[in-house]
């Protein structure tokens, strides 16, 4: 499946044509504060070309009460056994179905219709049902479940199956494709829940456990370590605009694990399993729980999440890129570091603030920026409508600008 974000396709002021840009940068990744689409390998569903939909929350979430962290018992010397016994019942399977309508030629063979349509068959609508399966975990005893957006994306019917065999109809309270987080609600009480940990303190080498339903094999447990932190979407082949830094693990995860928990040795969720790199072994990626929890609370409260948006496309300025631009376009940039703006979306906040293609962004609110990932993080942490102070380098001059982020335009 592909992860895709909103991508403005019209009214763009181009600094480089697409063909020229490809020739100059030869495959170097771009990021768009408003969304470029890059393929990724996600884990949750067999459905393709799903349409995103957000459902407004009709009632606020009861207070989430995490269970205490798990202490290793004398009986179970293996911490994995202890964790699985305690938190396994709070991991669920999520099945979803969606109806897809497509247009196909009408092969009725009526010669009159053939002549009427110029020997081209008229189109008729055909519907098919697509099914997908993923995982999730209960964060509230009253039935709120955290999972990936792509697990329930565009679903007509969502079914949640608990480890004890009970099955419930699920309602999508909200989903955010930009971060790939969704919240599903089931009508139940006194459910087992999982404690949420602190992903900010995770270090490579820590032991972790993954629980989920890979390839339809319910309640599968795997273990490993945290292999790395702060992996960008570009690092793993996903969209740069996911606005999430992923935790990498070598715990075995496969299609169907999407939305399931990645746990530490105390049984706390530190991340939500999300993506793999096809053809590789021991390369799984998960959304840090601090990010997932923040997005989930907004979805529970508002049914949607608004992300700050500037409306620029950019690339990290390197000596190689600087030399290519100079040789191909006869444009001599006077700085060696910063973030080069490739183009600016017409009528976007960046356009209104006076940013231009060819500007090199140097700092945001007096904080120096040298990579597009740094810019993306700062923008994501900013507030919509609250001014940011920028310093850009333009034709050898340092220019201060003020910009107010707007809500990220939503896909239609």
Bridge partner list, 126: 102
Structural domain including 333 reads 12-34+310-407
Has residue 288 been placed in a domain? yes
CATH code of 297's domain: 2.40.10.120
Q: What is the pLDDT of residue 45?
A: 46
Cα 39 to Cα 47: distance, rounded to the nearest angstrom: 15
Cα 210 to Cα 248: distance, rounded to the nearest angstrom: 12
Tell whether 126 and 229 lie within a shared domain. yes
Has residue 46 been placed in a domain? no
Per-residue pLDDT tens, the chain, 412 aa: give them: 333 332 333 344 444 444 444 444 543 433 333 333 333 455 544 443 333 333 333 333 444 444 455 555 545 568 999 999 999 999 999 999 988 777 666 555 555 555 555 555 556 667 788 888 999 999 999 999 999 999 999 899 999 999 999 999 999 999 999 999 999 999 999 999 999 999 999 999 999 999 999 998 999 999 999 999 999 887 777 765 667 889 999 999 999 999 999 999 999 999 999 998 888 888 999 999 999 999 999 999 999 999 999 999 999 999 888 888 887 777 778 888 999 998 899 999 999 999 999 999 999 999 999 998 899 989 999 999 999 999 999 988 999 999 999 999 876 4
Has residue 64 been placed in a domain? no
Q: What is the pLDDT of residue 78?
A: 86
Tell whether 200 and 129 lie within a shared domain. yes
Tell whether 251 and 321 lie within a shared domain. no
Cα 54 to Cα 225: distance, rounded to the nearest angstrom: 34
Tell whether 129 and 186 lie within a shared domain. yes
Cα 246 to Cα 275: distance, rounded to the nearest angstrom: 9
Tell whether 241 and 213 lie within a shared domain. yes
Residues that are catalytic: 150, 180, 258
Q: What DSSP string runs through 46-100?
A: S--SPPP-----SSPPPPP-PPPPPPPPSS--SHHHHHHHHHGGGEEEEEEEEEE
Q: What is the pLDDT of residue 334?
A: 85
Tell whether 136 and 195 lie within a shared domain. yes
Give φ, ψ of 120 to 5 degrees. -110, 130
Cα 268 to Cα 195: distance, rounded to the nearest angstrom: 5
Number of folded domains in the chain?
Answer: 2
Global pTM reads: 0.74
Q: What is the pLDDT of residue 104?
A: 63
The DSSP call for residue 180 is T
Tell whether 168 and 292 lie within a shared domain. yes
Rg of the chain on CA atoms, in Å: 24
Q: What is the pLDDT of residue 120?
A: 58
- Of 279, 302, 325, the position where a domain reaches its end is 302
Q: What is the pLDDT of residue 63?
A: 44
Has residue 244 been placed in a domain? yes
Q: Which of 163, 158, 135, 88 is nearest to 255 (CA)?
A: 135
Q: What is the pLDDT of residue 228?
A: 96
For residue 330, give every residue at least 6 positions away whose Cβ sits within 8 Å of its Cβ, in sequence order, or none.
Answer: none
Tell whether 135 and 276 lie within a shared domain. yes
């Amino acid at each position: 499946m592909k992860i895709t974000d909103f991508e403005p396709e019209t009214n763009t002021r181009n600094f480089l044509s697409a063909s020229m840009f490809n020739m100059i940068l030869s495959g170097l990744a771009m990021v768009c504060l408003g969304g470029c689409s890059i393929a990724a390998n996600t884990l949750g569903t067999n459905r393709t070309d799903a349409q995103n939909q957000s459902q407004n929350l009709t009632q606020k979430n009861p207070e989430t009460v995490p269970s205490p962290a798990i202490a290793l018992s004398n009986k179970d010397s293996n911490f994995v056994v202890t964790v699985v016994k305690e938190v396994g019942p709070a991991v669920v399977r999520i099945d979803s179905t969606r109806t897809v309508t497509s247009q196909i030629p009408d092969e009725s063979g009526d010669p009159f219709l053939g002549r009427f349509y110029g020997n081209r068959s008229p189109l008729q609508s055909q519907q098919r049902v697509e099914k997908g399966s993923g995982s999730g975990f209960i964060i509230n005893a009253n039935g709120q479940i955290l999972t990936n957006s792509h697990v329930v994306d565009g679903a007509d019917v969502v079914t949640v199956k608990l480890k004890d065999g009970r099955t419930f109809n699920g309602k999508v309270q909200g989903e955010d494709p930009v971060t790939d987080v969704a919240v599903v609600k089931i009508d139940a009480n006194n459910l087992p829940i999982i404690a949420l940990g602190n992903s900010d303190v995770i270090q490579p080498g820590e032991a972790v456990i993954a629980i989920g339903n890979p390839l339809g094999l319910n309640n599968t447990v795997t273990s490993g370590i945290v292999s790395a932190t702060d992996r960008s979407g570009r690092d793993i082949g996903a969209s740069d605009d996911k606005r999430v830094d992923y935790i990498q693990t070598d715990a075995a995860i496969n299609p169907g694990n999407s939305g399931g928990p990645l746990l530490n040795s105390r049984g706390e969720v530190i991340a939500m399993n999300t993506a793999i790199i096809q053809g590789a072994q021991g390369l799984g990626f998960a959304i840090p729980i601090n990010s997932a929890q923040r997005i989930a609370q907004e979805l529970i409260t508002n049914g949607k999440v608004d992300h700050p948006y500037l409306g620029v496309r950019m690339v990290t300025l390197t000596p190689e890129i600087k030399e290519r631009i100079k040789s191909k376009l006869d444009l001599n940039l006077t700085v060696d570091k910063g973030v080069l703006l490739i183009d600016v979306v017409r009528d976007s906040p960046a356009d209104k603030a006076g940013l231009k293609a060819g500007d090199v962004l140097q700092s945001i609110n007096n904080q120096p920026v040298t990579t597009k990932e740094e810019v993306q993080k700062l923008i994501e942490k900013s507030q919509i409508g609250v001014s940011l102070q920028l310093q850009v380098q333009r034709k050898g001059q340092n220019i201060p600008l003020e910009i107010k982020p707007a809500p990220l335009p939503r896909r239609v």
